[in-house]
Amino acid sequence: MQGIHWDFAVILTVLTLVTGVVWLLDKLWLGPRRRAKLALDAVDQPSSFVDFCRSFFPVIFAVLMLRSFVAEPFRIPSGSMIPTLLVGDFILVNKFTYGLRDPVFHHKFVELGEPQRGDVVVFRWPVDPTKDFIKRIIGLPGDHIVYRNKQLFVNGEPATLDPDGAYTAPGLPPPGVVYRMKEHLGPVEHDILVNPGRPADDFEFIVPPGEYYAMGDNRDGSDDSRRWGTVPERNLVGKAFFIWMSWDSDRTRVDFSRIGGSVR
């Protein structure tokens, strides 16, 4: 079992428990005792701490439920998923696609589904679970993955590539020419970037049970399973599905053209 990392989810859980216990005690015991001692025309005045807990428990509880079991916002900090996601995109992640987990120990208590090949997934980085990464699932448990001359082969089937021209975008390094390609990973079609000026990082791998192979769409500019290994199922956070805001830092303005886009 993984240890407790004191991230926002754990702090939110603790706040919910503390305010909830105080709210319940006040409702069942403290409040009735306090009001029984009041004069007929007196106003009930709980302590500031009890009043805070009574006021904020419903709000904190609702935020915890939504964030833990429905959707959670994330910001894209790097260019590893260009062109699908740009630096400065703010996305929503579906928290129940792959089952419901408790927000502290991340134990799955409701089975709802498993990642599919081609899903864009947020997960806790296996090297340091306090950090969240986002990549595309390339290999499922048991898959035979081959990467040769910048082309994927999954269980002997090539992920065909269709050229889509040169590509430039914020977050890409200036040297060389980078090309946009449409990759067909089974039924999933998505865009990737290929830098012909960088040597091919060829490999062959069989994905272990309970693990997933993840790669960035910016194939020559992504820190992913090629370097630090596979993603355990327990590290999955959810499936990215929606861009709700995008900040263009080069122009210091909101990029309205990206808002409302789906993540595919």
Residues catalogued as catalytic: 80, 135
Asked if the model's pLDDT at residue 121 lies above 70, the reply is yes
CATH topology of domain 71-254: Umud Fragment, subunit A (2.10.109)
10-36 CB burial, b ≥16 within 10 A, e <16: eebbebbeebbebbeebeeeebeeeee
Question: What is the enclosing helix (H) or strand (E) of 65?
Answer: helix 48-69
Q: Exposed, middle or buried by CB within 10 Å (0-12, 13-18, 19+), for 127?
A: exposed
Give which of 226, 223, 262, 257 is closest to 242, Cα–Cα.
Answer: 262
Q: Exposed, middle or buried by CB within 10 Å (0-12, 13-18, 19+), for 171?
A: buried
Give which of 47, 32, 50, 186 is closest to 118, Cα–Cα.
Answer: 186
How does pLDDT run across 162-208, given as a tens digit for each residue?
Answer: 998 888 755 555 556 789 999 999 889 999 999 888 888 899 999 99
Q: What is the pLDDT of residue 177?
A: 77
34 or 53, greater pLDDT = 53
Give the mean pLDDT of 99-104: 91
- Find where tokens 């327990």 sit: 234
Residue 14 phi/psi, 5-degree rounding, is -65, -45
Residue 236 pairs in a beta bridge with 123
Q: What is the pLDDT of residue 141?
A: 98
Cβ distance 178 to 193 under 8 Å?
Answer: yes
Give the mean pLDDT of 15-28: 95
Q: What percent of the chain has pLDDT over 70?
A: 95
Asked if the model's pLDDT at residue 224 lies above 50, the reply is yes
42 — pLDDT class (breaks 50, 70, 90) = confident
Q: Exposed, middle or buried by CB within 10 Å (0-12, 13-18, 19+), for 173?
A: exposed
41 — pLDDT class (breaks 50, 70, 90) = confident
pTM: 0.86
3 — pLDDT class (breaks 50, 70, 90) = very low
> Structural domain boundaries of the chain?
8-69, 71-254
The mean pLDDT of the chain is 90
Q: What is the pLDDT of residue 199?
A: 86
Q: What is the pLDDT of residue 232?
A: 97
